[in-house]
Amino acid sequence: MIEVKLDELADKKGTLVSHSPWLTVTQEMIEAFADATGDHQWIHIDIERAKKESPWKSPIAHGYLTVSLISRLNPQALKVTGPTATINYGLNKLRFPSAVKSGSDIRTKVQLLDVNQVDEHRYMASYLTTVEIKGEDKPACVAENLVMYVI
């Protein structure tokens, strides 16, 4: 993990890169996400059918489960000190180049693209977050995510 003071973050534009620890995406996580969202498509929850009929020969995580894990993993890669609140502000761009098979290990690679002072109490940072899959060439997810820091 990299720790950076908010008032020094702008100095790291284009150079700050950090990785989160690996996280295993379990079938239980996939099924809990399916229950929470109502997306019970067989490629996510029918293990036997997915092993036989899906192109991945395994159940896969929902794309939105994968992107939602950014808010869990990025704080383990990068800690910005100084703000009283850190707010997930949204995404500018999102792609899912590869599926995450049940049981796969993923991590985030976090790159600081930009940071700007919005007003006297807020800073907006944009990060390029790549969700990597252990042992795979293509990432699961590439997102430009926005974070609002409140002081």
Tens of pLDDT, residue by residue over 109-138, are 999 999 999 999 999 999 999 999 999 999
Listed as ranges, residues in the chain with pLDDT below 50 are: none
CATH number for the domain running over 2-150: 3.10.129.10
Q: So what's the pLDDT on residue 16?
A: 86
pLDDT of residue 81: 97
The CA–CA distances, whole Å, from 28 to 6, 42, 60, 71 equal 37, 14, 12, 19
Sketch the domain layout of the chain as residue ranges: 2-150
Per the CB < 8 A criterion, the answer to whether 54 and 110 are in contact is: no
